Amino acid sequence: MSKKSISLFEATLVLVILLAIMGTGVIIFQLSPQTPVLTGIALLMLWARWRHFSWGTIHEGIEEGLKSGLIPIIIFILVGALISTWIAAGVIPSLMVWGFQMVNVHWFIPSIFVVCALVGSAIGSAFTVISTVGIAFFGIGATLGLDTTIVAAAIISGAIFGDKSSPLSQSTNLTAAVTETDLFAHIKNLMWTTVPAFVGSLVLYAIIGHTSRDIPLTKISTTVAILKAHTDVSLWALLPIILIFVCARLKMPAIPTLFLNIAVSIGLIFSHHPHTSFKTIANLIENGFVAHTGNQSIDALLTRGGINSMLSTVALIIMTLTLGGLLMKLGLIQRVMAPLATHLKTPGQLISAVI
């Protein structure tokens, strides 16, 4: 067969088969995405050889796909180092303590919404927030006799807002990577939709979430006490956060911003613990922070970060960019998109087509 005679039906069939393989692996067999994507790459290369594409063309597709991901991969590695140094320097624990202290029993729903958003922004993971402090808040809400559906909604929506607005979030970084967008520019543009949604939700939760019950929030008090006892909570924690905003204001790219922030965070670690060895710092950057507070939920929140924690996501980026590069080089994407593109005349049509 000639590689020049790829029909719309064949291109569509190849894409559907690839999507079916990856979807089945992830959804049905509950595999991590890496293996299904790798399987898709192997089958796509097999199809390309059957259609008489040369190995040189296939390798060019891989290289072209990976070029766009080199900077984002470095950013992911630096984010892993930043998370661990922020925790060790007391930045993330301080944000958590200040957030927990905002919880008001009479305005429980809106306050946990704000706190979950704050903690989500601090650690960059909605799932971790929901499965740790979210569960604690859910139990407290049930004790107060509040509608548990509304409590769950406040926890989940707050955590997702925090995840989307955090420069530490893997999904936010991945979105910026695949769209070839500056990380901070991406977050800034997200604010046009996420901030109005946040404000509207906060107003709604304030209206429906007020309670006159007066029950002591012992779980929260215990959490705050444990964080203060085992981490370095101080106003100095604001320094790296302010630095992030200053660098964004100066339009400094993500990579130097992250390097600078890691350096400042390491400086804070030495100021809190002058006898910390460079080997300890290196282990922190490479393997992440490991919490030993004795509280399982808090340990789950704080045990994170490090370069190694990002390698799974980096591998996924490499493989998905490889797949995308091959699809473009072999002309499959262009063949499928050509009939659709002729009908896209307005921004609204383009957005609808993307959705």
pLDDT for res 212: 67
Q: What is the 3-state secondary structure (H, E, C) of the chain?
A: CCCCCCCHHHHHHHHHHHHHHHHHHHHHCCCCCHHHHHHHHHHHHHHHHHCCCCHHHHHHHHHHHHHCCHHHHHHHHHHHHHHHHHHHHCHHHHHHHHHHCCCCHHHHHHHHHHHHHHHHHHHCCHHHHHHCHHHHHHHHHHHCCCCHHHHHHHHHHHHHHHHHCCCCCHHHHHHHHHCCCCHHHHHHHHHHHHHHHHHHHHHHHHHHCCCCCCCCCHHHHHHHHHHHHHCCCCHHHHHHHHHHHHHHHCCCCHHHHHHHHHHHHHHHHHHHCCCCCHHHHHHHHHHCECCCCCCHHHHHHHCECCHHHHHHHHHHHHHHHHHHHHHHHCCHHHHHHHHHHCCCCCHHHHHHHHC
pLDDT for res 213: 65
Nearest to 325 by CA among 15, 6, 58, 47: 58
Backbone angles phi, psi at 330, to 5 degrees: -80, -5
- For the chain, what are the domain ranges? 8-70+318-338, 71-305
Per-residue pLDDT of the chain (355 residues; tens, 9 = 90+): 445 578 889 999 999 999 999 999 999 999 989 999 999 999 999 999 999 999 999 999 999 999 878 888 888 899 889 989 999 999 888 888 887 888 877 888 999 999 899 888 887 888 878 877 787 788 778 767 788 899 999 999 999 998 888 887 878 877 887 777 877 888 888 889 889 999 999 999 998 877 766 666 677 788 889 989 999 988 998 898 888 878 877 878 888 888 999 999 999 999 999 999 999 999 999 999 999 988 888 888 888 889 999 898 899 889 999 999 999 999 999 898 888 888 888 888 888 888 8
pLDDT for res 3: 52
pLDDT for res 327: 95
Q: Are 129 and 123 in contact (CB under 8 A)?
A: yes
pLDDT for res 350: 84
pTM beyond 0.85? no
